[in-house]
Amino acid sequence: MDKIELENQLLVHAFDYAAIGKAIVAVDGALLKVNHSLCHLLGYQESELLKLSFREITHPDDLEIDQSKLSLLLEGKIHSFHTEKRYVHKNNDEIWALLSLTLVRSNQGDPLYFVSQIQNITDLKLAEKKVYEGEKRYQRIVEESPDAIIILRKGRCFFINEAGVGLLGASAKKDIIGKSIYEFIDHSDYGKLQNLVENKIRSESVGPIEERFVRFDGKEIDVEIKTIPTIYKGQPAIHAIVRDISERKQTQELMINSEKLTVAGQLAAGIAHEVRNPLTAIKGFLQIMESELKDQKMYFDIISSEMNRIEMILNELLVLSKPQQISKYSQGNLKDILEQIVTLLQTQTNMNSIEIITKIEPNLPLISCDENQLKQVFINFLKNSIEAMPKGGAITIEVQSKNSESLIVRIVDQGHGIPEHILKKIGTPFFTTKENGTGLGLMICNQIIEQHKGKINIESCSKGTTIEIDLPVS
């Protein structure tokens, strides 16, 4: 056996028993020779397969692409091509394969036949399909999640869902993608999250942890974050679930305040009743002593003044322990109520060089109220404003319709304001900034306004304090 014959036999053996499918295809598409792997791949006997053309074993949807590539080969514009395509199994199953096709020409350059190498990639394509479908399901779950979902890498946002866009107050995802997550975190909480990111957060689930986020509109919100290590676009990342807990925190604070009010009320009732009886006796004996020791009037005046103050505190404690329930409403005119109060405080404001300016919208609707209790509220707030302006100034009282269902009373002073850390504590039982205050006035005001189905909001800065009282109309 000569060398050429041996080489030919080796080539034939390599063709027939190759691990991947091979075929020699005529220029017109007829199958001239196929190997065992291709027969096994497509489910045909060799004799059956050789009776078919490449068009009959190609998936109909892929024929057009095949034809265009073959035309380029025949025109000499390309020498070979590689593509993924689908074949049709004998039992009509879909077979995915990686096709490598080369055109063999004669010495004169005329096309002789095509040499095809066909590698089965069906399992790979099925796996890819499962991964793709899994990603689509994951993406749908993420997009439709009521919680904000943010994918982070090195602290930067690479993905955010619509709930996240709404939570941060952005107009679109592009406003957030690419930004550092630290841009949205309150500076006081910055270090806590950064420490987690640089340590545990990359390798294990963390949370939930509480943070304060700053939205695009500047509003601060309390959030709860849970992080899970994940893979995003082939690289390690962090899947962060962010939930707005602002309402929950507010509810917790309301519950705590409610408990404080209950305790304060019980304590107030006990103190008031225990102190009032001996106080009455002391006042009686003091009056007898005062009539006998007239030359000590100054001392008796001081004692009487202090005892009157004790009575005032006891009265406030009793109001706190047994807030008056409004059993009968009457139709009240806010304009008349406020004008009466301004007249009542006129002497005090004049003595302190303070001007009260009223801006009351005409034709305001009546409100259902207890006039005396509302007067108590307005007097309390106005006296606070007067005390906050020792150097004088102006207090503005504005009344206007918020909508068809409520009125807004706004009291604006030019006092020194209330620092933010103190403003949060205003209304806490027995907390006061006044030297002689009891810390009960605002609590009583809150109770009265709540009984009127209204709300109080206080804002303050170094230039003054604004109190807004929202009251429903009749």
What are 294-303's pLDDT values in tens digits? Answer: 777 777 777 7
Q: Same CATH fold, 330-472 and 3-120?
A: no
Q: What span, in angstroms and rounded, lies between the C-alpha atoms of 17 and 35?
A: 7
For 233-346, strand residue ranges (E) read 235-244, 330-332
Tell whether the model's pLDDT for residue 326 goes beyond 50. no
Tell whether the model's pLDDT for residue 429 goes beyond 80. no
The secondary structure element, H or E, covering residue 443 is helix 441-451
419 or 405, higher pLDDT: 405
358 or 328, higher pLDDT: 358
Q: What is the pLDDT of residue 427?
A: 57
Angle separating helix axes 297-321 and 246-292, nearest 10 degrees: 150
Tell whether the model's pLDDT for residue 241 goes beyond 80. yes
Tell whether the model's pLDDT for residue 32 goes beyond 70. yes
Task: Write the pLDDT tens digit of every residue in 264-306.
Answer: 666 666 777 677 777 777 777 777 777 777 777 777 777 777 7
Q: What span, in angstroms and rounded, lies between the C-alpha atoms of 363 and 371?
A: 19
- Beta partners for residue 237, in sequence order: 230
Cβ–Cβ under 8 Å, residues 423 and 435:
no
Fold (topology level) of 145-244: Beta-Lactamase (3.30.450)
Tell whether the model's pLDDT for residue 409 goes beyond 50. yes
Fold (topology level) of 330-472: Heat Shock Protein 90 (3.30.565)
Task: Write the pLDDT tens digit of every residue in 181-205.
Answer: 888 887 665 556 666 555 555 567 7
Q: What span, in angstroms and rounded, lies between the C-alpha atoms of 220 and 269?
A: 39
Tell whether the model's pLDDT for residue 399 goes beyond 80. yes
Least confident of 51-65, 140-154, 209-223, 283-297: 283-297
Q: What span, in angstroms and rounded, lies between the C-alpha atoms of 87 and 92?
A: 9
Q: Does pTM surpass 0.85?
A: no
Q: What span, in angstroms and rounded, lies between the C-alpha atoms of 99 and 83?
A: 5
Tell whether the model's pLDDT for residue 134 goes beyond 80. no
| Alpha-carbon dihedral 387, 389, 392, 396, rounded to 10 degrees | -90
Strand 393-403 to 354-360 pairing: parallel
Tokens of 292: 């006998």
Task: Write the pLDDT tens digit of every residue in 155-167.
Answer: 888 888 888 888 8
Domain spans of the chain? 3-120, 145-244, 249-321, 330-472
Q: What is the pLDDT of residue 329?
A: 73
Query: How many contiguous H segments (helices) and E segments (strands) does the chain have?
Result: 15, 17
Spatial CB neighbours of 360, under 8 Å, sequence gap ≥ 6: 334, 335, 338, 397, 398, 399
* Band (75; pLDDT cuts 50, 70, 90): confident
* Band (372; pLDDT cuts 50, 70, 90): confident
Tell whether the model's pLDDT for residue 439 goes beyond 70. no
Tokens of 317: 């404690």
Q: What span, in angstroms and rounded, lies between the C-alpha atoms of 361 and 397?
A: 11
- CB-hemisphere CA count at 13 Å for 195? 5
| The listed CATH number (2.60.110.10, 3.90.650.10, 2.40.40.20, 3.30.450.20) that belongs to domain 3-120 | 3.30.450.20
